Structure 1
């Protein structure tokens, strides 16, 4: 009996010791041996960069460089923003070249700032470049088709792409009270019945509401100082709510506010060292992250239920994005669930609002710096549209407005770095790269590269785009504000029409200049934003 007990205890001790030894070896491999082996391998390929540091890699340096750069506004109002917006990436390229190596915790990260190699990665012809694995807390914000991979991504993309065709987004909004002009209600009605222009009335309704609100503000004294950044977020939110969900901004306001709060919490999680299982610890911020996610999903689930009931009752047709997504769900059999529809709605709410709102904000800031271009755009709008609400045909002829919007997008793109990850051993331009390596594509650097844009790359020159995007840069395209390749942004045409409509209607009625209180401080919080807002002085024409 004693021998039997001794044998049992001995077995337990050996098992525990073996488990502990395996755990130690595994941890050593993950946090030291593999990163150092990767570093040695990549250096043999001629890639220079920082050395791996235990656990954190370069995370602390990345956070500190951003905090330092963002601690005070720029001393001058210029477009030399790269060192402020992405200081760590900028210094890496300056110190180690266009192909350089850094570390995100225990993962190697290669910065690729060469336009030809960047294009190869984005085209992803071999399928080896995927979205990087994220901290699960970050996934609370970034879901939907943008984070899927492989066949699942291809199927979802095929299913939802038709919903973003211009002719598919058919909206018939109620004409708002009041008027942008004396014939506004008539003008919107004409647009509503003009064939393939069904999206335009929704933009017109939202833009009219904005213009009327601004007109009331400036009507008493002829001018008014106003922070246009939140105004454009409200506008973009209203457009999305109308075109995507057939409702007004007030109904979707709760979702927008929650998504904005979630973005701040997500960014904090992204820059923090993640310990597996930490998301299950009920800290105050973790609890808030999951409460926000639950509230957003509950609100969207209620909207979906109401839409499904309305469609069944014949009250509404599938004339908005939500209706089209539900139609996609029915056509996909069991491949798309209600939860999938919710995630696509979350993605469209966030990406659609942030992109256009910040684009318009930077456009007004930039045109305030260059009153000559502001006047050129205004004269074009008045010549083509007069004081009437622009139609789709009108907007096709707004060449100067398009040139300005593209140049603003070059200087202030919504996303400044596109992340990728090698799912298998692959190569970039003949350079072998192991599996499990992050790839950072700093598109902002390309947008400012003198090699492609000339020595005046940091200057605002809309005439670069006089012959379109394809001929704007030297030799080859170096313009990636909406991505490139099979994963390009589905909503780019949507955003362009919305931005054109809003800018044209503002130019018809106001001229504007920067407020003396404006501080030039671009910074990245998921998207590129003015850190201290965008106060401008509006003058009524």
Structure 2
């Protein structure tokens, strides 16, 4: 009897694994092939992950690095995804590949991209594997949730980051930007003996401190020092998880008690405890603070039934704010400084605009709005170095996108870096830094405006884009009006993919006080 039960369980488990890992993926690929979509043949369990890992390792060994002494710099961030580019050349602008048992449709056809970016269906959401694999970092926050849960979270969070609310954060952004400028100025003055000192600065840590300070103060108010501790631990967690991205889709790996998994679980627990400690202090206080955390608490109280739901909402979305608002802004600022340092004519042009608009005053929202050339430089920066180089969605039910029947569970990937540098869309100079292309807006710069998406697309476009733009404009305007700068001989141009495309060796510039 016992043997029969065990045998039945073993057979049942085998059948379940076969259906999940073999039959369903094969059936989905058959449906896609019947529509003319082909791609690299996958391996059972791992799909194309081994091929992806091998391609990335080979690319890392022969990464093209250019020193500033050997111009021009090549701004081709799509090259950090060599496997996607190789498959695109082999199978065309729309093809399939596999991450473990998960089937992906890669899309770089502008017409199909438009169909994807204009879809408003709640059945077309964030990939479920992201919620599983990135759960310790993002939880069930606005970046990973779907359907009514996502709609509820957006309803609470989005109004707190509308432009009128961002204007109320201007003092925070300004003070944080001045911290960077004053630290550079003080370093120069402390070492300058009348010779016009040129200081070699590694900007990346300064950009992270600036962005982290803004988000910590905006989110946690007077408790921002605790916010910084939370973000520091989130940074450590993000670094560990970014090294595991190539194992996405392989069943069960995230449950194994490996050294990295144990560290992930430990950090996740610590971060949750720190956030809940701040939440508890707020509940026990008089609620006078008007920071983002207080607004989220108030909004959550009216939409969630109990304290556990509110706590989960706050913990998960504080983690989401970190990833979406801290790291992306810091990396974008580093790239922007690199591009201005290597293009002195545009640096001078934008500096003249800042001086003319501000007339020696501290920039306010109206002044920032008038800085058209600075805006063009930032747009061009995010075209060449988009904060999210790939955007992915999943069919939560069987759906039709641009005439393609997409079975439930299939992911759709749009390679932003490829679209942003497509010569058919942007012209033969697509890999060059030319902010003037945005002189007449996005529609005047690109043949397919839907293909420009530095902040995502559709209903799920980044809710923090207004704050991000204000941060970048304020910081760049204050730096430009205080210093002139060029690329340091230390700088090595080598974009690398971690959670986003970052300068592998950082950005070093030579600055001189004006």
Query: Which range, TM-score by smaller chain?
Result: over 0.9
Q: Secondary structure at the match of 1:311?
A: coil
CA separation of 1:539/1:255 partners in 2, compared to 1, >3 Å: closer, same or farther? same
Contact 2:77/2:384 (CA < 8 Å) preserved in 1? no
**441, 455, 464: which is aligned to 1:468?**
441
User: What is the TM-score of this pair, normalised by structure 1?
Assistant: 0.88
1:343 corresponds in structure 2 to 316
Tell me the residue number matched to 2:174: 204
1:243 deviates by 1.7
- Contact (CA 8 Å) 1:426, 1:432: kept in 2 or not? yes
Secondary structure at the aligned position of 1:125 is classed as coil
> Residues 73 and 521 of structure 1 are in contact (CA less than 8 Å); yes or no, is this contact kept in structure 2?
yes
Find the partner of 2:24 among 9, 22, 34.
Answer: 34
Partner of residue 69, structure 2: none
Answer whether contact 1:238 1:248 (CA < 8 A) is retained.
no
The whole-number CA distance in structure 2 between the counterparts of 1:103 and 1:274 is: 8
| Higher mean C-alpha displacement, 74-83 vs 157-166 | 74-83
Provide Cα deviations, 1:180-214, integer angstroms capped at 9, x if missing partner: xxxxxxxxxxxxxxxxx432111111111111100
Q: Which residue of 1 aligns with 2:183?
A: 213
CA distance in 2, matches of 1:229, 1:86: 23
**Residue 228 of structure 1, aligned match among 203, 210, 213:** 203
Matching residue within 1, 22, 39 for 1:49 = 39
Give the count of matched residue pairs: 500
Q: What's the secondary structure of 1:244's corresponding residue?
A: helix
Specify which of 474, 482, 487 is matched with residue 514 of structure 1: 487
Q: Is the 8 A contact 1:82 1:90 kept in 2?
A: no
Listed as ranges, the gaps of 5+ residues in structure 1 are 1-8, 170-196
Residues 59-74 of structure 1 mapped to structure 2, 5 A cutoff = 59-74=49-64
Is the Cα contact below 8 Å between 1:234 and 1:249 reproduced in 2?
Answer: no
Q: Cα distance, 1:27 vs. partner? A: 2.1
2:168 and 2:17 mapped to 1: Cα distance?
58
Alignment of 1:106 with 2:81, yes or no, is no
Corresponding residue for 2:500? 527
1:329 matched residue in structure 2:
300
Alpha carbons of structure 1 residues 238 and 82: separation in structure 2 relative to 1, 3 Å: closer
Q: Deviations over 1:448-500 (max 9, x none)?
A: 11121111111111111112223321254321010111000000011001100
Shift of 1:121: 2.1
Aligned position for 1:455? 428
For residue 16 of structure 1, report the CA deviation from its aligned partner. Answer: 2.9
For each residue in 1:357-401, what CA deviation from the matched residue of structure 2 results, as whole angstroms up to 9, or x when unmatched?
Answer: 111100010111110000000111111113331111111110110
Partner of 1:116: 111
CA offsets 1:130-173 (integer angstroms, 9 cap, x no match): 2112263421112311111111111221122211123335xxxx
**Pair 1:475–1:425, CA change in 2 (3 A):** closer
Alignment of 1:393-432 (within 5 A): 393-432=366-405
Residue 226 of structure 1, CA deviation: 1.2
Aligned to 2:11: 21
* Aligned partner of residue 497 in structure 2, secondary structure: strand
* Contact 1:511 1:538 (8 Å CA) reproduced: yes
Change (3 A) 1:31 1:338: closer
Choose between structure 1 and 2 for higher RCO, CA contacts under 8 A separated by at least 6 residues: 2
Q: Deviations over 1:89-132 (max 9, x none)?
A: 11111111110111101221110112221232233333332211
Mark the runs of 5 or more structure 2 residues left unpaired by the alignment.
67-71
Aligned to 1:263: 238
Q: Distance in 2 between the 1:476 and 1:162 partners? A: 26
Alignment of 1:183-202 (within 5 A): 197-202=167-172
Per mean C-alpha deviation after superposition, the further-off stretch among 471-480 and 229-238 is 471-480
Whether 1:142 and 2:113 are equivalent positions in the alignment is no
Compare 287-296 and 424-433 and name the one that shifted more.
424-433
Matched residue, 1:183:
none
How far does residue 80 in structure 1 lie from its aligned partner after superposition?
4.0
1:540 lines up with 2:513 in the alignment: yes
Q: Structure 1 120/420 Cα, relative in aligned 2: closer, same or farther at 3 Å?
A: same
1:88 partnered with 2:59: no
Contact kept in structure 2, 1:138 and 1:270, CA below 8 Å: no
Contact 2:173 2:214 in 1 (8 A): yes
What CA distance in whole angstroms lies between the structure 2 residues aligned with 1:51 and 1:338?
44
The 1-side partners of 2:403 and 2:285 are apart by: 56
1:240-292 Cα shifts (integer Å, max 9, x gaps): 11222214864433222211111122123332266655544433222210111
What SS class does the counterpart of residue 523 from structure 1 fall into?
A: strand
Query: For the structure 1 residues 30 and 80, does the alpha-carbon distance in structure 2 shift closer, same or farther, using more than 3 Å as the test?
Result: same
The verdict on how the C-alpha distance between 1:217 and 1:70 changes in structure 2, with shifts beyond 3 A counting, is: farther
SS in 2 for 1:146: coil
CA shift digits 1:431-456 (9 cap, x unpaired): 22221212111111110111211111
**Whole-angstrom CA distance in 2 between matches of 1:109 and 1:276:** 16
- Give, in angstroms, the shift of residue 237 of structure 1: 0.5
The structure that has the greater radius of gyration is 1
Q: Does 1:359 align with 2:315?
A: no
Q: Cα 1:397–1:93, aligned 2, differ >3 Å: closer, same or farther?
A: same
Give the root-mean-square deviation of aligned CA atoms: 1.9
User: Deviation of residue 516 (structure 1)?
Assistant: 0.9
Alpha-carbon distance between aligned partners in 1 of 2:348 and 2:149, rounded to the nearest angstrom = 49
